[in-house]
Amino acid sequence: MNIMLVTVTERTREIGVRKAIGAKESHILVQFLLESVVISALGGMIGVGLGIGAGAILAMFIPLGSIVEPSGVLMALSFSAFVGIFFGFYPAWRAARLDPVDALRYE
């Protein structure tokens, strides 16, 4: 959520320009929500990769088997996307509600 709030703050002028030329609130909301989901999904993929890699490395040193089930991977990626939507909604909503004139004046 903090990353997305900083992103909205850094791109306030861009949001103002987009709204000034006719972008609707829904367009800006979707843009920031999609960005939040992509960032979260990438983080989830990195986490899944690290988990699978750590399991494979541990399996070489410990005589226990390491099983990665596709349902577990899917659940982890789905949760990651959900977190992106949940914590990205407020910054996206805040960006969509900006007044174009105030956003263009922002420095």
Q: pLDDT of 19-39, one tens digit each?
A: 889 889 899 888 888 888 888
Question: Would you say residue 63 lies in a domain?
Answer: yes
Question: Would you say residue 94 lies in a domain?
Answer: yes
Count: domains in the chain: 1
What is the DSSP secondary structure assignment for residue 64, as one 8-state letter? S
Domain carrying residue 17: 2-98
Looking at residues 51-79, what average pLDDT do you find?
Answer: 88
Residue 22 Cα to chain centre, angstroms: 25
C-alpha pair distances (Å), 79 with each of 13, 18, 30, 55: 32, 31, 19, 20
For residues 90 and 1, is the Cβ–Cβ distance under 8 A? Answer: yes
Question: Would you say residue 37 lies in a domain?
Answer: yes
For residues 20 and 65, is the Cβ–Cβ distance under 8 A? Answer: no
Question: Would you say residue 106 lies in a domain?
Answer: no
Question: Would you say residue 103 lies in a domain?
Answer: no
Question: Would you say residue 107 lies in a domain?
Answer: no
Residue 75: the pLDDT is 93
Please state, for a pLDDT cut of 70, what percent of the chain lies above it: 99
Nearest CA to 104 among 28, 29, 21, 35? 21
Question: Would you say residue 6 lies in a domain?
Answer: yes
pTM, rounded to two decimals:
0.77
C-alpha pair distances (Å), 18 with each of 50, 76, 96: 38, 35, 10
